[in-house]
């Protein structure tokens, strides 16, 4: 019974396309996050939502747009994909905000841009 699930696990697409990654958590958590792990293996936060409200928006290009239809879901839509968007994207959730509660991560979505 997966706690934080992301789909798809792999995504291969052409430059310029638009794609979405979905994330769902069944832990009853209030806060959800998107992280990007680049080729150097750094995990960097992109966005965070608390009860459907955006609370973290790092310096991410406008082509990236998170959407939270309810507190159990946080989807990531990416427009006009570029080569540099190739990375592994992780969704996470935590019990509350402030986030001194450990974050629970999904298994990641490996995005490859051709």
Partner 1 sequence: DQQVKQNSPSLSVQEGRISILNCDYTNSMFDYFLWYKKYPAEGPTFLISISSIKDKNEDGRFTVFLNKSAKHLSLHIVPSQPGDSAVYFCAAQHGSSNTGKLIFGQGTTLQVKP
Token pair 């935590």 is at which residue? 94
Distance between terminal CA atoms of the chain?
34
Structure tokens at 22: 């979905």
Cβ at position 5, least distance to partner 1 in Å: 10
Cβ at position 94, least distance to partner 1 in Å: 6
Nearer to partner 1, 86 or 97 (CB): 97
Among the listed ranges 11-19, 59-67, 73-81, 93-101, the one in contact with partner 1 (CB under 8 A) is 93-101
**Which residues in the 24-83 window bind partner 1 by CB under 8 A?**
31, 33, 40-45, 48, 50, 55-56
Nearer to partner 1, 81 or 93 (CB): 93
Cβ at position 96, least distance to partner 1 in Å: 8
In DSSP terms, 109 is beta-bridged to: 89
Cβ at position 103, least distance to partner 1 in Å: 7
> 20: closest CA among 81, 103, 93?
81
User: Do strands 104-105 and 87-94 pair parallel, antiparallel, or not at all (unpaired)?
Assistant: antiparallel
Strands (E), 14-108: 19-25, 31-37, 43-50, 53-57, 64-70, 73-78, 87-94, 104-105
The residues that touch partner 1, with contacts defined as CB under 8 A, are 4, 31, 33, 40-45, 48, 50, 55-56, 90, 92, 94, 97-108
């Amino acid at each position: 019974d997966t706690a934080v699930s992301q789909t798809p696990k792999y995504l291969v697409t052409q430059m310029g396309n638009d794609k979405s990654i979905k994330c769902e958590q069944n832990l009853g958590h209030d806060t959800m996050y998107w992280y990007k792990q680049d080729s150097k293996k750094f995990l960097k936060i992109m966005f965070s939502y608390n009860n459907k409200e955006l609370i973290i928006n790092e310096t991410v290009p406008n082509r990236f747009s998170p959407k939270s239809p309810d507190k159990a879901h946080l989807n990531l839509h990416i427009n006009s994909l570029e080569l540099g968007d190739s990375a592994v994207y992780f969704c996470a959730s935590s019990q509350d905000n402030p986030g001194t509660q450990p974050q629970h991560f999904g298994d990641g979505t490996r995005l490859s841009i051709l």
